Chains A and B, each alone.
Chain A
Amino acid sequence: MNPRRRRGIRGNTSIVESVRLTKIYGSGDISTVALNDVSFEIQRGEFVLIVGQSGSGKSTLLHMIGLLDKPTGGRILIDGIDATFLSDSDRSEVRRHKIGFIFQAFNLLADLTVVENVMLPMMMIGNGASSAMRGEAELVLGKVGLAKQVEKQANQLSGGQMQRVAVARALVNRPALVLGDEPTGNLDSKSSQDVINLMKELNRELKQTFVIVTHAREAFGNVDRTIVLKDGKIESIE
């Protein structure tokens, strides 16, 4: 499947549409409802936080949006594509072209250099020459303030620098949707603020949609919307 040619794009600007999304882990008496009938839409270019207490279903919801996990019920649409029943391969294709991920634990590939980590999503798509990809990766690394670190091994950087690399990697393919799972959770307060400012700046500049799961709502200041989850349900959308 080529997600760029996929039919079914609706006439609105929703990048994410969750329709009565449900996720149940286990079965019978030992089942756990992680998400229960969750419906919402996120518009293109929005900066959205998903907040809630531990166990409220934030990360599960992010994994559903990121197509890393399949819902038990309901539907999930990404950029108009109903991804609920896509094959594993097609879900990978959607992720590759439309979604960027930033993880709490940075999750860089330790065996690659900084620039190679950032080039990886481009290499997966395989468009363009290696030198062009490298140039683009270095450009994005420059944007996140790491122009001088490109040849370092990923594991030689500080936590804040690693998360900047992760942001660069998430953005390099210009995905329509950037997902962050506690992206500041492992950073000190200064580094956290730097990364938050960077993401908000890129959101404004590049008009990419950011959906961030966080415990540190206040640190993000003003955002477009905040989805508050409680016990697997939406408590409020502010």
Chain B
Amino acid sequence: MDYRFKVATSMLFKRKGSMFAAIIAVAIAVLVIVINYVTFDGVANAIIRDLVDFRFGHVLITDRDGNIERPDREMIGFLENTGMVEGATVRLTDSASINNTSSAVPVRAYGIPVIGVLPDEELDATRIADTIVEGTFLVSRHSIILGSSVAEDLDAGIGDPMRLKVTDRSGNDQTERFTVVGISKTAGGLAFDTSMIIDIETLRDMTGRDESSELLVRLFDQQDSGEIARQFSARYAGERFKVETIEEAGESILAGIRSGIAFINLVGYFGMLSSAFGIITIMMMIVTSKIREIGVMRAIGSNKADVMIIFVIQGTLIGAMGAALGFILGSAYALYAQNVGLSFGESLSLAVRYDPGFVANTALTGLVMGVAASLYPAWRTTKLEPAEATRY
């Protein structure tokens, strides 16, 4: 065994308290970064998941000039024939006033988004049914689903009669009666909590608009987003469709989340930096307590580089053991979060993906930190004069 390794390990393992403190400093630094990443990446993934499931699908198609006037069946049929599409549907959105007529004193709400959907296609293309926490999905042309916030505002429940008023394309008010059949609610409120859902044909009749606001496409495999976008654009080459993948459609939402992730990771890395200072302090204590022995080793033949290597080996061992512990703890947390669908209170459940590569990279950073943190204490040993050090 190389004597430098022998001396390094003997020095280190005889000071178990200092060694464990340094190892735990590295492991905690790794763990903090992994927890940050897993949590916030889980939030981002959960948002993407909910955007796909409820808002945009994997591919969102709109018209650059306003609403889509192509017949629903034609576009949906084309998409379904590609063999890559699990479901496709259209939606028409507008805004409406609503009045709960079951109360002795009518309760009204104004400017509520109302979403017209194709009931059968909607169930194929989205996870809208999963948001119904009470009652059922649409059962007739005059049934309505209220978002939980709207229902709360209107003090409405299943079976209550509602009067919905919209403005048609001629500027006239159009009113229809509906019956509440369902209440929609999602953790995180990214779906329809503040909206109302009715049959698209009813909404078209009321508004006099035989058109759609958007076309949502759900794929068997999200990887096909680009190909579907390409095929659809080619099919309707002369038209003003805007075809966006989920990444593009949710860009503004995701950009904020990703900035947050980057910031929180930065905080984690600053935490790692403070752990590095902890290691430097511990190693400086070891160097100080070993000045005489350093002098002795120099006297019996070690050169400056040999002594430096002894302390770099110690930093490497601390970094390696801390990184290994951090990898184990980080992986355990990530796997736990992935398997239990971690959520905090009423928030959306995180969509955690255990990424061993990320955890390994973070652990590797911890190892590098251990080595880097040993460089200064190791360098300090080169400043010791052997004659002085032996008498320290």
Q: Which residues of A contact B (CB under 8 A)?
A: 63, 66, 68-69, 88-89, 92-93, 95-97, 100-101, 103, 105, 107-112, 116, 119-121, 123-126, 130, 169-170
Within 8 A of A (CB), among B1-25: 1-3, 6-7, 10-11, 14
Chain B residues with CB under 8 Å of A109's CB are 7, 10, 293, 296-297
Kindly state whether residue B385 has any CB partner on chain A within 8 Å: yes
CB pair B304–A89 under 8 Å, yes or no, is yes
Query: Cα distance A216–B128 when bound, in Å?
Result: 97
CB pair B296–A93 under 8 Å, yes or no, is no
Q: 24 A-B residue contacts at CB 8 Å?
A: A68-B298, A68-B386, A69-B387, A89-B305, A92-B298, A92-B301, A92-B303, A93-B301, A93-B303, A101-B296, A103-B299, A103-B390, A107-B296, A109-B296, A109-B297, A111-B14, A116-B6, A116-B10, A120-B297, A123-B1, A123-B3, A124-B301, A124-B302, A126-B3
A6 nearest CB across to chain B (Å): 16
Number of interface residues of B (CB under 8 A): 26
With A69-B385, A101-B299, A107-B390 as given contacts, are A88 and B304 in contact (CB-CB < 8 Å)? yes
Query: Of the candidates B11, B292, B299, which one forms a contact with A111 in the assembled complex, judged by CB atoms under 8 Å apart?
Result: B11
CB pair A130–B1 under 8 Å, yes or no, is yes
Chain A residues with CB under 8 Å of B3's CB are 119-120, 123-124, 126
Query: Cα distance A26–B305 when bound, in Å?
Result: 27
CB pair A120–B303 under 8 Å, yes or no, is no
Residue of chain B at shortest CB distance from A97: B301
With A107-B296, A110-B293, A111-B10 as given contacts, are A88 and B387 in contact (CB-CB < 8 Å)? no
Query: Cα distance A103–B385 when bound, in Å?
Result: 16
User: What DSSP secondary structure best describes chain B's contact surface?
Assistant: helix
Residue of chain B at shortest CB distance from A103: B390
Kindly state whether residue B300 has any CB partner on chain A within 8 Å: yes
With A63-B387, A112-B7, A116-B6 as given contacts, are A95 and B292 in contact (CB-CB < 8 Å)? no
If A120-B7, A120-B300 are given as contacts, then 19 extra A-B residue pairs at C-beta distance below 8 Å, sorted by A number, are A69-B386, A88-B303, A89-B305, A93-B303, A97-B301, A103-B390, A107-B296, A110-B293, A111-B7, A111-B10, A111-B11, A112-B6, A112-B10, A120-B297, A123-B3, A124-B301, A124-B306, A125-B301, A130-B1
CB pair B385–A169 under 8 Å, yes or no, is no
Across the A-B interface, give the 10 residue pairs with the lowest CB-CB distance, nearest first.
A96-B301, A123-B3, A92-B303, A111-B10, A68-B387, A63-B387, A111-B14, A107-B296, A69-B387, A124-B301
CB pair A96–B300 under 8 Å, yes or no, is yes
Chain A residues with CB under 8 Å of B303's CB are 88-89, 92-93
CB pair A68–B390 under 8 Å, yes or no, is yes
With A69-B387, A89-B305, A103-B390 as given contacts, are A95 and B6 in contact (CB-CB < 8 Å)? no
A60 nearest CB across to chain B (Å): 8
CB pair B300–A124 under 8 Å, yes or no, is yes
Residue of chain A at shortest CB distance from B8: A111
CB pair A107–B385 under 8 Å, yes or no, is no
CB pair B293–A169 under 8 Å, yes or no, is no
CB pair A95–B301 under 8 Å, yes or no, is yes
CB pair A107–B293 under 8 Å, yes or no, is yes
B317 nearest CB across to chain A (Å): 14
Chain B residues with CB under 8 Å of A119's CB are 3
Query: Cα distance A119–B306 when bound, in Å?
Result: 16
B340 nearest CB across to chain A (Å): 45
A39 nearest CB across to chain B (Å): 21
Chain B residues with CB under 8 Å of A105's CB are 292
Chain A residues with CB under 8 Å of B14's CB are 110-111
Chain A residues with CB under 8 Å of B390's CB are 68, 103, 107
Query: Cα distance A116–B293 when bound, in Å?
Result: 14
Query: Cα distance A96–B283 when bound, in Å?
Result: 27
Chain A residues with CB under 8 Å of B306's CB are 92, 124
B13 nearest CB across to chain A (Å): 8
Query: Cα distance A121–B298 when bound, in Å?
Result: 11
CB pair A68–B299 under 8 Å, yes or no, is yes
Chain B residues with CB under 8 Å of A92's CB are 298, 301-304, 306
A111 nearest CB across to chain B (Å): 4
Query: Cα distance A138–B340 when bound, in Å?
Result: 60
Chain B residues with CB under 8 Å of A96's CB are 300-302
Residue of chain B at shortest CB distance from A119: B3
Residue of chain B at shortest CB distance from A100: B300
A226 nearest CB across to chain B (Å): 23
Residue of chain A at shortest CB distance from B301: A96
Query: Cα distance A126–B301 when bound, in Å?
Result: 12
A79 nearest CB across to chain B (Å): 15
Chain A residues with CB under 8 Å of B297's CB are 109, 120
Chain A residues with CB under 8 Å of B299's CB are 66, 68, 95, 101, 103, 107
CB pair B11–A95 under 8 Å, yes or no, is no
Chain A residues with CB under 8 Å of B11's CB are 111
B380 nearest CB across to chain A (Å): 16
Residue of chain A at shortest CB distance from B293: A109
Query: Cα distance A96–B302 when bound, in Å?
Result: 7
Chain B residues with CB under 8 Å of A124's CB are 3, 300-302, 306
A211 nearest CB across to chain B (Å): 14
Q: Identify which of B3, B6, B300, B302 gathers the most chain A CB atoms within 10 Å of its CB.
A: B300
With A68-B387, A69-B385, A123-B3 as given contacts, are A107 and B301 in contact (CB-CB < 8 Å)? no
Chain B residues with CB under 8 Å of A107's CB are 292-293, 295-296, 299, 390
A112 nearest CB across to chain B (Å): 5
Query: Cα distance A92–B302 when bound, in Å?
Result: 6
